[in-house]
Structure 1
Amino acid sequence: MNSTLYLAWQDRRQRASGKPATRRWYVIGRLDAEGKDYVFRYTEGAKHARQEAGFQPLDAFPDLQRCYRSEELFSVFRNRIPNARRKDYPALMARLGLSEQVVDPFEILAVTGGTRQTDNLEVFPRIATQPDGSFRCRFFLHGWRYVSEAAQQRLQQLREGDTLRVALELNNPASGLAIQLQAPDSYLMLGWAPRYLNQDLADAMLTAPAMLEARVAKINLPPSPHNQRVLIEFRGSLSDSGEPMMGSEYQPLVA
Protein backbone atom coordinates (compact mmCIF):
# COMPACT_ATOMS: atom_id res chain seq x y z
CA MET A 1 0.00 0.00 0.00
CA ASN A 2 1.21 3.49 -0.82
CA SER A 3 1.49 5.43 2.44
CA THR A 4 2.43 8.79 0.94
CA LEU A 5 0.32 11.16 -1.12
CA TYR A 6 1.25 14.59 -2.45
CA LEU A 7 -1.03 17.58 -2.85
CA ALA A 8 -0.74 19.78 -5.94
CA TRP A 9 -2.18 23.28 -6.42
CA GLN A 10 -2.89 24.98 -9.74
CA ASP A 11 -2.45 28.70 -10.32
CA ARG A 12 -5.80 29.95 -11.63
CA ARG A 13 -5.81 33.44 -10.16
CA GLN A 14 -6.22 36.41 -12.49
CA ARG A 15 -3.38 38.89 -11.96
CA ALA A 16 -4.06 42.45 -10.81
CA SER A 17 -2.12 43.54 -13.89
CA GLY A 18 -4.71 41.85 -16.06
CA LYS A 19 -2.40 38.99 -17.01
CA PRO A 20 -4.10 35.58 -17.04
CA ALA A 21 -3.21 32.86 -14.56
CA THR A 22 -0.34 30.62 -15.62
CA ARG A 23 -2.37 27.46 -14.80
CA ARG A 24 0.93 25.95 -13.65
CA TRP A 25 0.78 23.12 -11.09
CA TYR A 26 2.87 23.23 -7.89
CA VAL A 27 3.49 20.41 -5.41
CA ILE A 28 2.53 22.11 -2.13
CA GLY A 29 2.11 19.37 0.47
CA ARG A 30 2.69 15.82 1.57
CA LEU A 31 0.30 13.49 3.43
CA ASP A 32 1.72 10.42 5.19
CA ALA A 33 0.06 7.53 6.99
CA GLU A 34 2.24 6.87 10.04
CA GLY A 35 0.86 4.06 12.16
CA LYS A 36 -2.60 5.15 13.29
CA ASP A 37 -1.96 8.81 12.49
CA TYR A 38 -2.20 10.94 9.39
CA VAL A 39 0.48 13.60 9.03
CA PHE A 40 0.38 16.61 6.69
CA ARG A 41 3.28 18.94 5.99
CA TYR A 42 3.79 21.64 3.41
CA THR A 43 6.66 21.15 0.98
CA GLU A 44 9.20 23.49 -0.60
CA GLY A 45 6.84 23.67 -3.57
CA ALA A 46 4.41 25.72 -1.45
CA LYS A 47 7.10 28.39 -1.01
CA HIS A 48 7.71 28.43 -4.75
CA ALA A 49 3.95 28.72 -5.38
CA ARG A 50 3.68 31.62 -2.93
CA GLN A 51 6.62 33.49 -4.44
CA GLU A 52 5.70 32.89 -8.08
CA ALA A 53 1.89 32.70 -8.05
CA GLY A 54 0.63 34.20 -4.79
CA PHE A 55 -0.36 30.90 -3.17
CA GLN A 56 -1.95 31.29 0.28
CA PRO A 57 -2.00 28.50 2.92
CA LEU A 58 -5.13 26.36 2.92
CA ASP A 59 -7.75 27.15 5.58
CA ALA A 60 -7.34 23.65 7.02
CA PHE A 61 -3.55 24.13 7.29
CA PRO A 62 -2.91 27.84 7.92
CA ASP A 63 0.78 27.59 8.96
CA LEU A 64 3.37 26.61 6.37
CA GLN A 65 5.89 25.74 9.07
CA ARG A 66 3.69 23.41 11.13
CA CYS A 67 3.43 19.61 11.09
CA TYR A 68 -0.25 18.64 11.31
CA ARG A 69 -1.14 15.29 12.89
CA SER A 70 -4.55 13.60 13.32
CA GLU A 71 -6.00 10.17 14.04
CA GLU A 72 -8.68 10.92 11.43
CA LEU A 73 -8.07 11.72 7.80
CA PHE A 74 -8.06 15.49 7.37
CA SER A 75 -11.30 16.83 5.88
CA VAL A 76 -9.56 18.38 2.88
CA PHE A 77 -8.72 14.82 1.82
CA ARG A 78 -11.68 12.95 3.32
CA ASN A 79 -14.17 15.11 1.40
CA ARG A 80 -12.54 14.01 -1.86
CA ILE A 81 -13.34 10.33 -1.35
CA PRO A 82 -16.60 9.11 -2.95
CA ASN A 83 -19.28 8.07 -0.50
CA ALA A 84 -19.77 4.30 -0.67
CA ARG A 85 -23.51 4.83 -0.14
CA ARG A 86 -23.89 6.65 -3.45
CA LYS A 87 -26.13 4.80 -5.90
CA ASP A 88 -23.52 5.18 -8.62
CA TYR A 89 -20.65 4.01 -6.40
CA PRO A 90 -20.17 0.64 -8.19
CA ALA A 91 -20.06 2.42 -11.55
CA LEU A 92 -17.64 5.02 -10.18
CA MET A 93 -15.23 2.40 -8.85
CA ALA A 94 -15.40 0.54 -12.16
CA ARG A 95 -14.54 3.78 -13.94
CA LEU A 96 -11.45 4.07 -11.75
CA GLY A 97 -10.43 0.47 -12.37
CA LEU A 98 -10.88 -0.34 -8.67
CA SER A 99 -12.82 -3.01 -6.82
CA GLU A 100 -15.88 -2.03 -4.79
CA GLN A 101 -14.19 -3.67 -1.81
CA VAL A 102 -11.35 -1.12 -1.76
CA VAL A 103 -11.61 0.80 1.51
CA ASP A 104 -8.13 2.29 1.84
CA PRO A 105 -8.50 6.06 1.25
CA PHE A 106 -4.97 6.38 -0.09
CA GLU A 107 -5.64 3.80 -2.78
CA ILE A 108 -8.81 5.57 -3.87
CA LEU A 109 -7.24 9.05 -3.84
CA ALA A 110 -4.19 7.75 -5.71
CA VAL A 111 -6.38 7.01 -8.73
CA THR A 112 -9.11 9.65 -8.51
CA GLY A 113 -6.72 12.50 -7.81
CA GLY A 114 -9.35 13.83 -5.44
CA THR A 115 -10.29 16.45 -8.01
CA ARG A 116 -13.33 18.66 -7.52
CA GLN A 117 -14.89 21.22 -9.82
CA THR A 118 -14.93 23.78 -7.02
CA ASP A 119 -11.20 24.10 -6.33
CA ASN A 120 -7.75 23.84 -7.86
CA LEU A 121 -6.24 20.99 -5.85
CA GLU A 122 -5.22 17.51 -6.94
CA VAL A 123 -3.84 14.52 -5.04
CA PHE A 124 -1.31 12.05 -6.42
CA PRO A 125 0.69 9.13 -5.00
CA ARG A 126 4.39 8.80 -4.48
CA ILE A 127 5.99 6.57 -7.09
CA ALA A 128 7.16 3.39 -5.37
CA THR A 129 10.06 1.56 -7.00
CA GLN A 130 10.94 -2.12 -6.71
CA PRO A 131 14.48 -3.24 -5.71
CA ASP A 132 15.43 -3.43 -9.40
CA GLY A 133 14.28 0.16 -9.98
CA SER A 134 11.09 -0.73 -11.85
CA PHE A 135 7.85 1.07 -11.07
CA ARG A 136 4.23 1.31 -12.12
CA CYS A 137 1.87 4.25 -11.79
CA ARG A 138 -1.60 5.16 -13.01
CA PHE A 139 -2.98 8.53 -14.02
CA PHE A 140 -5.74 10.01 -16.14
CA LEU A 141 -4.71 11.57 -19.43
CA HIS A 142 -4.31 15.33 -19.07
CA GLY A 143 -5.02 18.05 -21.61
CA TRP A 144 -6.87 15.91 -24.15
CA ARG A 145 -9.54 18.56 -24.64
CA TYR A 146 -6.93 20.94 -26.06
CA VAL A 147 -5.44 18.69 -28.76
CA SER A 148 -6.23 18.87 -32.48
CA GLU A 149 -9.51 17.74 -34.02
CA ALA A 150 -7.71 14.80 -35.62
CA ALA A 151 -6.38 13.77 -32.21
CA GLN A 152 -9.85 14.09 -30.69
CA GLN A 153 -11.19 11.71 -33.33
CA ARG A 154 -8.33 9.27 -32.73
CA LEU A 155 -9.04 9.34 -29.00
CA GLN A 156 -12.54 8.08 -29.68
CA GLN A 157 -11.03 5.04 -31.40
CA LEU A 158 -8.81 4.00 -28.47
CA ARG A 159 -9.51 0.67 -26.85
CA GLU A 160 -8.55 -0.68 -23.44
CA GLY A 161 -5.20 -2.43 -23.71
CA ASP A 162 -3.86 -0.18 -26.48
CA THR A 163 -0.19 0.74 -26.02
CA LEU A 164 0.59 4.43 -26.55
CA ARG A 165 3.79 6.04 -27.72
CA VAL A 166 5.68 8.13 -25.15
CA ALA A 167 7.55 11.27 -26.24
CA LEU A 168 9.57 13.93 -24.44
CA GLU A 169 8.53 17.54 -25.07
CA LEU A 170 11.15 20.16 -24.17
CA ASN A 171 9.37 23.41 -25.01
CA ASN A 172 5.88 23.08 -23.61
CA PRO A 173 4.58 26.65 -23.08
CA ALA A 174 3.09 25.81 -19.66
CA SER A 175 5.76 23.60 -18.08
CA GLY A 176 8.81 23.53 -20.36
CA LEU A 177 9.43 19.80 -19.90
CA ALA A 178 6.40 17.62 -20.65
CA ILE A 179 5.59 13.99 -21.40
CA GLN A 180 3.38 13.43 -24.42
CA LEU A 181 1.20 10.37 -24.98
CA GLN A 182 0.77 9.66 -28.68
CA ALA A 183 -1.43 7.41 -30.79
CA PRO A 184 -0.05 3.86 -31.11
CA ASP A 185 -0.09 3.91 -34.91
CA SER A 186 1.19 7.44 -35.54
CA TYR A 187 2.85 10.40 -33.86
CA LEU A 188 -0.48 12.13 -33.26
CA MET A 189 -0.35 13.69 -29.81
CA LEU A 190 -3.38 12.73 -27.70
CA GLY A 191 -2.54 14.40 -24.38
CA TRP A 192 0.00 14.61 -21.59
CA ALA A 193 1.04 12.95 -18.36
CA PRO A 194 0.41 15.08 -15.24
CA ARG A 195 3.00 17.85 -14.90
CA TYR A 196 4.14 16.71 -11.46
CA LEU A 197 5.28 13.37 -12.92
CA ASN A 198 7.29 14.94 -15.75
CA GLN A 199 10.76 14.80 -14.22
CA ASP A 200 10.56 11.22 -12.98
CA LEU A 201 9.00 9.89 -16.18
CA ALA A 202 11.64 11.75 -18.20
CA ASP A 203 14.37 10.16 -16.06
CA ALA A 204 12.82 6.75 -16.74
CA MET A 205 12.87 7.48 -20.48
CA LEU A 206 16.59 8.22 -20.29
CA THR A 207 17.49 5.43 -17.85
CA ALA A 208 15.77 2.47 -19.51
CA PRO A 209 13.83 3.41 -22.66
CA ALA A 210 13.28 -0.25 -23.52
CA MET A 211 11.34 -0.70 -20.27
CA LEU A 212 8.81 2.05 -21.01
CA GLU A 213 5.19 1.14 -21.52
CA ALA A 214 2.11 3.36 -21.49
CA ARG A 215 -1.08 1.35 -21.79
CA VAL A 216 -4.74 2.37 -21.88
CA ALA A 217 -6.11 0.80 -18.70
CA LYS A 218 -9.66 2.15 -18.88
CA ILE A 219 -11.85 4.15 -21.27
CA ASN A 220 -14.74 6.05 -19.70
CA LEU A 221 -17.37 7.44 -22.02
CA PRO A 222 -19.57 10.49 -21.34
CA PRO A 223 -21.19 11.44 -19.03
CA SER A 224 -18.12 10.52 -16.97
CA PRO A 225 -16.14 13.64 -15.95
CA HIS A 226 -13.79 14.93 -18.63
CA ASN A 227 -10.81 14.53 -16.28
CA GLN A 228 -11.53 10.80 -15.87
CA ARG A 229 -11.95 9.73 -19.50
CA VAL A 230 -8.71 7.86 -20.27
CA LEU A 231 -6.88 6.00 -17.49
CA ILE A 232 -3.23 5.29 -18.31
CA GLU A 233 -0.98 2.69 -16.70
CA PHE A 234 2.66 3.68 -17.06
CA ARG A 235 5.54 1.29 -16.45
CA GLY A 236 9.22 2.12 -16.44
CA SER A 237 12.48 1.77 -14.60
CA LEU A 238 14.85 4.11 -12.80
CA SER A 239 18.44 3.34 -11.92
CA ASP A 240 18.99 1.12 -8.88
CA SER A 241 20.20 4.13 -6.91
CA GLY A 242 17.60 6.52 -8.27
CA GLU A 243 14.80 7.59 -5.94
CA PRO A 244 11.75 9.20 -7.51
CA MET A 245 10.25 12.49 -6.37
CA MET A 246 13.43 13.77 -4.73
CA GLY A 247 13.31 17.27 -6.23
CA SER A 248 13.20 20.29 -3.95
CA GLU A 249 9.46 20.86 -4.41
CA TYR A 250 8.75 17.46 -2.78
CA GLN A 251 10.81 18.13 0.37
CA PRO A 252 8.82 18.87 3.58
CA LEU A 253 9.34 22.29 5.12
CA VAL A 254 9.41 20.76 8.62
CA ALA A 255 10.64 17.40 9.89
Structure 2
Amino acid sequence: MRPFVLWLIWQNECTRQRYHVGNLVHDGTKYVFYYEHSRKRRGLFEALENGYKPHLAFRDMERKYVSDRLFGPFERRLPDRRRPDFLEILRTYGLPHDCTDMDLLRATGGKLATDSYEFVAPIYVLGNHFDFDFYVAGWRYYEGDQVIQDLKVGDKVHFRLEPENRRDAKAVEVLTDKGCKLGYIPAFYSEFMFNLIQNNGCYTARIESIHVKAFPQRKVNINVYGVLPMSCQTQGLDMLHQVALQVT
Protein backbone atom coordinates (compact mmCIF):
# COMPACT_ATOMS: atom_id res chain seq x y z
CA MET A 1 0.00 0.00 0.00
CA ARG A 2 1.28 3.47 -0.86
CA PRO A 3 1.37 6.17 1.83
CA PHE A 4 -1.28 8.88 1.85
CA VAL A 5 0.39 11.97 0.37
CA LEU A 6 -1.00 15.48 -0.05
CA TRP A 7 0.71 18.44 -1.70
CA LEU A 8 0.65 21.77 0.12
CA ILE A 9 -0.19 24.55 -2.33
CA TRP A 10 0.44 28.28 -1.78
CA GLN A 11 -1.29 30.99 -3.81
CA ASN A 12 0.20 34.42 -4.48
CA GLU A 13 -2.66 36.77 -3.59
CA CYS A 14 -1.64 39.37 -6.18
CA THR A 15 -1.02 37.18 -9.24
CA ARG A 16 -3.40 34.35 -8.16
CA GLN A 17 -0.72 31.86 -9.28
CA ARG A 18 -0.44 28.67 -7.20
CA TYR A 19 2.72 26.77 -6.27
CA HIS A 20 3.50 23.33 -4.82
CA VAL A 21 5.62 24.22 -1.77
CA GLY A 22 5.43 21.19 0.53
CA ASN A 23 4.26 17.63 1.16
CA LEU A 24 2.22 16.05 3.95
CA VAL A 25 2.56 12.28 4.28
CA HIS A 26 0.72 9.78 6.46
CA ASP A 27 2.12 6.24 6.37
CA GLY A 28 -0.49 4.77 8.73
CA THR A 29 1.39 5.47 11.93
CA LYS A 30 3.08 8.86 11.67
CA TYR A 31 2.67 12.17 9.87
CA VAL A 32 5.56 13.79 8.02
CA PHE A 33 5.78 17.28 6.56
CA TYR A 34 8.65 18.58 4.43
CA TYR A 35 9.20 21.27 1.83
CA GLU A 36 9.32 20.37 -1.87
CA HIS A 37 12.95 20.80 -2.96
CA SER A 38 12.77 19.54 -6.52
CA ARG A 39 13.37 22.16 -9.21
CA LYS A 40 9.92 21.61 -10.63
CA ARG A 41 7.81 24.22 -12.38
CA ARG A 42 5.46 26.02 -9.98
CA GLY A 43 7.42 24.56 -7.07
CA LEU A 44 8.97 25.96 -3.89
CA PHE A 45 11.89 27.80 -5.50
CA GLU A 46 9.65 29.54 -8.00
CA ALA A 47 7.30 30.42 -5.13
CA LEU A 48 10.19 31.94 -3.14
CA GLU A 49 11.04 34.10 -6.15
CA ASN A 50 7.44 35.31 -6.14
CA GLY A 51 7.11 36.35 -2.52
CA TYR A 52 6.61 33.11 -0.58
CA LYS A 53 7.73 32.94 3.06
CA PRO A 54 7.90 29.62 5.01
CA HIS A 55 4.86 28.65 7.07
CA LEU A 56 5.20 30.18 10.55
CA ALA A 57 4.85 26.73 12.17
CA PHE A 58 7.45 25.17 9.85
CA ARG A 59 10.16 27.80 9.52
CA ASP A 60 13.07 25.44 8.74
CA MET A 61 12.80 24.56 5.06
CA GLU A 62 15.53 21.88 5.37
CA ARG A 63 13.88 19.95 8.19
CA LYS A 64 11.60 16.91 7.98
CA TYR A 65 8.85 17.39 10.60
CA VAL A 66 7.46 14.18 12.15
CA SER A 67 4.45 13.71 14.47
CA ASP A 68 2.30 10.87 15.83
CA ARG A 69 -0.82 12.93 15.10
CA LEU A 70 -1.83 15.46 12.47
CA PHE A 71 0.09 18.69 12.98
CA GLY A 72 -1.94 21.29 14.87
CA PRO A 73 -1.72 24.00 12.16
CA PHE A 74 -3.17 21.51 9.65
CA GLU A 75 -5.73 19.96 12.03
CA ARG A 76 -7.21 23.42 12.62
CA ARG A 77 -8.04 23.55 8.90
CA LEU A 78 -10.56 20.75 9.27
CA PRO A 79 -14.25 21.34 10.05
CA ASP A 80 -14.98 20.58 13.71
CA ARG A 81 -16.54 17.13 14.00
CA ARG A 82 -18.77 18.51 16.78
CA ARG A 83 -20.46 20.98 14.42
CA PRO A 84 -24.23 20.42 14.04
CA ASP A 85 -23.83 20.44 10.26
CA PHE A 86 -20.80 18.12 10.15
CA LEU A 87 -22.74 15.22 8.60
CA GLU A 88 -24.02 17.59 5.92
CA ILE A 89 -20.42 18.59 5.17
CA LEU A 90 -19.51 14.91 4.73
CA ARG A 91 -22.48 14.42 2.38
CA THR A 92 -21.44 17.47 0.36
CA TYR A 93 -18.05 15.90 -0.32
CA GLY A 94 -19.28 12.32 -0.60
CA LEU A 95 -17.31 11.18 2.46
CA PRO A 96 -18.24 8.30 4.79
CA HIS A 97 -18.88 8.87 8.50
CA ASP A 98 -15.63 7.11 9.41
CA CYS A 99 -13.40 9.17 7.10
CA THR A 100 -9.91 10.02 8.35
CA ASP A 101 -8.48 13.48 8.86
CA MET A 102 -6.40 13.02 5.69
CA ASP A 103 -9.56 12.09 3.74
CA LEU A 104 -11.24 15.24 5.01
CA LEU A 105 -8.20 17.40 4.34
CA ARG A 106 -8.01 16.10 0.79
CA ALA A 107 -11.73 16.60 0.11
CA THR A 108 -12.02 20.12 1.55
CA GLY A 109 -8.53 21.33 0.66
CA GLY A 110 -8.14 22.60 4.23
CA LYS A 111 -8.68 26.15 2.99
CA LEU A 112 -9.01 29.03 5.45
CA ALA A 113 -10.14 32.59 4.77
CA THR A 114 -7.09 33.87 6.64
CA ASP A 115 -4.29 32.57 4.39
CA SER A 116 -3.43 31.28 0.92
CA TYR A 117 -2.77 27.58 1.56
CA GLU A 118 -4.65 24.49 0.43
CA PHE A 119 -4.00 20.75 0.10
CA VAL A 120 -4.37 18.73 -3.11
CA ALA A 121 -3.75 15.15 -4.20
CA PRO A 122 -0.34 14.39 -5.80
CA ILE A 123 0.54 12.77 -9.11
CA TYR A 124 1.39 9.11 -8.39
CA VAL A 125 3.81 7.36 -10.75
CA LEU A 126 4.65 3.67 -10.50
CA GLY A 127 6.74 2.16 -13.27
CA ASN A 128 5.28 3.54 -16.47
CA HIS A 129 1.76 4.05 -15.07
CA PHE A 130 0.44 7.21 -13.44
CA ASP A 131 -2.74 8.49 -11.83
CA PHE A 132 -3.94 11.66 -10.15
CA ASP A 133 -7.13 13.63 -9.62
CA PHE A 134 -7.85 17.32 -9.53
CA TYR A 135 -10.62 19.87 -9.14
CA VAL A 136 -11.22 21.91 -12.28
CA ALA A 137 -9.54 25.33 -12.02
CA GLY A 138 -11.24 28.50 -13.25
CA TRP A 139 -14.68 26.92 -12.99
CA ARG A 140 -16.63 30.15 -12.47
CA TYR A 141 -15.32 31.74 -15.68
CA TYR A 142 -16.46 29.14 -18.22
CA GLU A 143 -19.40 26.87 -19.02
CA GLY A 144 -19.38 24.59 -15.98
CA ASP A 145 -22.43 25.92 -14.17
CA GLN A 146 -24.41 25.91 -17.42
CA VAL A 147 -23.91 22.16 -17.91
CA ILE A 148 -23.31 20.79 -14.39
CA GLN A 149 -26.83 19.31 -14.19
CA ASP A 150 -26.06 17.28 -17.32
CA LEU A 151 -22.74 15.93 -16.03
CA LYS A 152 -22.53 12.45 -14.50
CA VAL A 153 -19.89 10.63 -12.51
CA GLY A 154 -17.96 8.44 -14.95
CA ASP A 155 -18.37 10.82 -17.91
CA LYS A 156 -15.23 11.16 -20.00
CA VAL A 157 -13.59 14.55 -20.35
CA HIS A 158 -10.95 15.68 -22.82
CA PHE A 159 -7.89 17.89 -22.56
CA ARG A 160 -6.73 20.47 -25.09
CA LEU A 161 -3.38 22.24 -25.06
CA GLU A 162 -3.41 26.03 -25.08
CA PRO A 163 0.22 27.06 -25.79
CA GLU A 164 -0.90 30.54 -26.86
CA ASN A 165 -2.16 31.26 -23.32
CA ARG A 166 -0.28 34.43 -22.26
CA ARG A 167 -0.45 33.64 -18.55
CA ASP A 168 0.65 30.00 -18.82
CA ALA A 169 2.31 28.49 -21.88
CA LYS A 170 1.68 25.00 -20.41
CA ALA A 171 -2.07 25.57 -19.95
CA VAL A 172 -4.38 22.58 -20.56
CA GLU A 173 -8.13 23.08 -21.03
CA VAL A 174 -10.74 20.65 -19.65
CA LEU A 175 -13.63 19.94 -22.06
CA THR A 176 -16.73 17.78 -21.82
CA ASP A 177 -17.44 15.06 -24.37
CA LYS A 178 -19.60 17.64 -26.21
CA GLY A 179 -16.84 20.27 -26.25
CA CYS A 180 -18.05 22.53 -23.42
CA LYS A 181 -15.16 24.18 -21.58
CA LEU A 182 -15.24 23.50 -17.84
CA GLY A 183 -11.94 25.22 -17.04
CA TYR A 184 -8.31 24.15 -16.75
CA ILE A 185 -6.02 21.59 -15.16
CA PRO A 186 -4.39 23.42 -12.20
CA ALA A 187 -0.98 24.81 -13.18
CA PHE A 188 1.00 22.65 -10.72
CA TYR A 189 -0.25 19.57 -12.63
CA SER A 190 -0.52 20.99 -16.15
CA GLU A 191 3.12 20.69 -17.22
CA PHE A 192 2.95 16.94 -16.58
CA MET A 193 -0.13 16.55 -18.77
CA PHE A 194 1.07 19.07 -21.38
CA ASN A 195 4.27 17.07 -21.89
CA LEU A 196 2.42 13.75 -21.83
CA ILE A 197 -0.02 14.87 -24.53
CA GLN A 198 2.75 16.37 -26.66
CA ASN A 199 4.56 13.03 -26.50
CA ASN A 200 1.42 11.08 -27.45
CA GLY A 201 0.99 9.50 -24.03
CA CYS A 202 -2.03 7.28 -23.42
CA TYR A 203 -4.49 8.45 -20.76
CA THR A 204 -8.14 8.34 -19.71
CA ALA A 205 -9.86 11.18 -17.84
CA ARG A 206 -13.28 10.80 -16.21
CA ILE A 207 -15.42 12.75 -13.76
CA GLU A 208 -14.74 11.28 -10.32
CA SER A 209 -17.22 13.34 -8.29
CA ILE A 210 -19.64 16.25 -8.62
CA HIS A 211 -20.47 18.59 -5.73
CA VAL A 212 -23.15 21.01 -6.90
CA LYS A 213 -23.32 22.89 -3.58
CA ALA A 214 -19.55 23.19 -3.05
CA PHE A 215 -17.44 26.29 -3.73
CA PRO A 216 -16.62 26.78 -7.45
CA GLN A 217 -13.06 25.55 -6.96
CA ARG A 218 -14.36 22.23 -5.50
CA LYS A 219 -17.34 21.52 -7.79
CA VAL A 220 -16.05 18.83 -10.15
CA ASN A 221 -13.20 16.40 -9.55
CA ILE A 222 -11.48 14.68 -12.46
CA ASN A 223 -9.53 11.41 -12.25
CA VAL A 224 -6.73 10.81 -14.76
CA TYR A 225 -4.79 7.59 -15.29
CA GLY A 226 -2.61 6.31 -18.06
CA VAL A 227 0.76 5.14 -19.35
CA LEU A 228 3.87 7.25 -19.76
CA PRO A 229 5.48 7.24 -23.22
CA MET A 230 9.12 6.20 -23.25
CA SER A 231 10.28 9.82 -23.58
CA CYS A 232 8.55 10.72 -20.29
CA GLN A 233 9.31 7.65 -18.20
CA THR A 234 12.61 8.92 -16.81
CA GLN A 235 10.89 12.07 -15.57
CA GLY A 236 8.09 10.00 -14.04
CA LEU A 237 10.44 7.66 -12.22
CA ASP A 238 12.38 10.64 -10.86
CA MET A 239 9.12 11.98 -9.40
CA LEU A 240 8.39 8.63 -7.78
CA HIS A 241 11.88 8.42 -6.28
CA GLN A 242 11.57 11.90 -4.77
CA VAL A 243 8.42 10.86 -2.91
CA ALA A 244 9.83 7.49 -1.85
CA LEU A 245 13.04 8.98 -0.51
CA GLN A 246 11.17 11.51 1.60
CA VAL A 247 8.60 9.05 2.96
CA THR A 248 10.99 6.34 4.10
Fold-level similarity (TM above 0.5): yes
Instruction: Tell me what 1:71 maps to.
Output: 68
On the 8 A contact 2:3/2:27 being kept in 1, the answer is no
Aligned to 1:113: 109
- Ranked by relative contact order (alpha carbons within 8 Å, sequence separation 6 or more), the top structure is 1
| Other structure's SS at 2:46 match | helix
**In the alignment, what sits opposite 1:50?**
48
What are the superposed Cα offsets for residues 132-162 of structure 1, whole Å, 9 maximum, x if unpaired?
x333322221101122xx5642344323332
Q: Secondary structure at the match of 2:82?
A: coil
CA distance in 2, matches of 1:134, 1:230: 24
Q: Provide the C-alpha distance between the structure 1 equivalents of 2:182 and 2:139, rounded to a whole number of angstroms.
A: 6
TM-superposed CA distance for 1:90, in Å, is 3.1
**Structure 2 counterparts to residues 62-211 of structure 1, below 5 A:** 62-103=59-100, 105-131=101-127, 133-147=128-142, 152-186=145-179, 188-206=180-198, 209=201, 211=202
Native 8 Å contact 1:136 1:233 kept in 2:
yes
Cα distance in 2 for residues equivalent to 1:244 and 1:93 = 35
CA spacing shift, 1:57–1:129, aligned 2, 3 Å = closer
Contact conserved, 1:28 with 1:49, CA < 8 A, in 2?
Answer: yes
Segments of 5+ residues of structure 2 without an aligned counterpart are: 38-42
Aligned alpha-carbon RMSD (Å):
3.1
Q: CA deviation at 1:208?
A: 5.5
Identical positions, percent: 29
One-letter amino acid of the structure 1 residue matched with residue 31 of structure 2: Y
Query: Contact 2:204–2:226 at 8 Å: present in 1 too?
Result: yes
Q: 1:245 to 1:214 in 2, by over 3 A?
A: farther
Q: Deviation per CA, 1:171-205, whole angstroms, max 9, x where unpaired?
A: 3333321221112112x321112221112223443
SS in 1 for 2:197: helix
Q: Is the 8 A contact 1:165 1:181 kept in 2?
A: yes
Change (3 A) 1:121 1:245: farther
TM-superposed deviation, 1:34: 5.2
Give the letter aligned to residue 145 of structure 1.
Answer: R
Q: How far off is 1:85 after superposition?
A: 3.1
2:220 corresponds to: 230
Name the CA distance, whole Å, in 1 between partners of 2:88 and 2:61.
Answer: 38
Aligned residues: 237
The 3 A distance-change label for structure 1 pair 109 and 2 is farther
Structure 1 partner of 2:40: none
Deviation at residue 7 of structure 1 after TM alignment: 0.8
- The residue number in structure 2 matching 1:18 is none
